[in-house]
Amino acid sequence: MTQENSALPGKFISFEGIDGAGKSTHIGFVTEWLASRGKTVVSSREPGGTALGEKLRALLLHEKMHVETEALLMFASRREHLAQVIEPAIARGDWVLSDRFTDASFAYQSAAGGMDRAKIMALAQWVHPHRWPDMTLLFDVPLEVARERLDAERTLDKFEQEKADFFARCRSEYLRLAAEFPDRIVVIDSTRSIDETRATIAAALGRLL
Ligand SMILES: Nc1ncnc2c1ncn2[C@@H]1O[C@H](COP(=O)(O)OP(=O)(O)OP(=O)(O)O)[C@@H](O)[C@H]1O
Ligand SMILES: Cc1cn([C@H]2C[C@H](O)[C@@H](COP(=O)(O)O)O2)c(=O)[nH]c1=O
């Protein structure tokens, strides 16, 4: 990680997509790309990113619960993440990369889980009224591609075991959000090769420098 003395506030980039879309694969690349341009990078994830958040993550990914309990715990983890990691890092001038943020709550708890969208918006307004990512990289792939990548990989958690229609609702909500916030959300075609995807990401990141 390279250091940069800067009076400027840092930037906040989130990574989104349905499970298996390929977003985590590219976080290491973005870290190196930014570090080679003199940025100090803090890489984190949601749910999680703090000691308490990681305990909540273990519950969220493995325990069945009411969808509103799930949303409240996601936002509890997020509140802690903002207080302990995101806001201090941005204030120092660092660049924060978060594997997921509030768009995931709209996609998973609201569109797929059936929770009232207005309640997610109310939680977002409460927990981070003035903070949204400067850029969100949305890794988009058809459900079958994501499923194939997941199956090849690992033991599936609670969300990853959901059926195709759950992920179809997640994916369309992500694409709807991208259409609503075109200045923030960059849709990345994640069916392309890892090298081609990296080139697209680098072009998008260039806009933030
Ligand atoms: N462009 C790509 N082409 C082929 N395989 C890819 C591509 N991107 C990622 N993969 C592979 O797909 C698998 C899943 O990728 P990854 O873990 O990054 O997904 P993810 O979106 O972060 O999933 P999750 O949200 O469940 O953690 C990995 O084995 C990874 O190597
Ligand atoms: C932030 C957030 C996450 N989720 C879900 C989405 C994923 O299935 C898991 C996290 O696993 P990953 O492999 O690290 O992507 O949590 C959610 O449902 N709602 C949220 O707000």
Query: For 137-180, what is each residue's pLDDT tens digit?
Result: 999 999 999 999 988 767 999 999 999 999 999 999 999 999 99
Evaluate if residue 1 carries a pLDDT over 50: no
Q: For residue 161, give its domain range.
A: 11-206
Amino acid at 93: G
pLDDT at 152: 77
6 in a structural domain: no
Atom of ligand 1 nearest to the CA of 21: 21
Band (pLDDT 50/70/90 cuts) for residue 5 is: very low
pLDDT at 153: 65
Using the predicted structure, report yes or no on whether residue 76 has a pLDDT greater than 50: yes
56 lines ligand 2 (CB under 6 A): no
CA of 102 to the centre of ligand 2 (A): 10
Distance CA 52, CA 196 (A): 37
pLDDT at 2 over 60: no
**Is position 114 within any domain?**
yes
Whether the CB-CB separation of 69 and 105 falls below 8 Å is answered with no
- The complex's ipTM works out to 0.97
Return the CATH number at 23.
Answer: 3.40.50.300
- Asked, for residue 5, whether it belongs to a domain, the answer is no
Domain tally for the chain?
A: 1
Judge whether 94 lies within some domain: yes
Q: What's the pLDDT score for residue 4?
A: 45
Q: How far apart are the first and last CA of the chain?
A: 17
Render the chain in DSSP notation, one character per residue.
------SS--EEEEEE-STTSSHHHHHHHHHHHHHTTT--EEEEESS-SSHHHHHHHHHHHHS---HHHHHHHHHHHHHHHIIIIIHHHHHHT-EEEEE--HHHIIIIIIIIT---HHHHHHHHHHH-TT---SEEEEEE--HHHHHHHHHHH----TTTTS-HHHHHHHHHHHHHHHHH-TTTEEEEETTS-HHHHHHHHHHHHHTT-
- Residue 64 placed within a domain: yes
What is the whole-number distance in angstroms between the Cα of residue 100 and the centre of ligand 2? 7
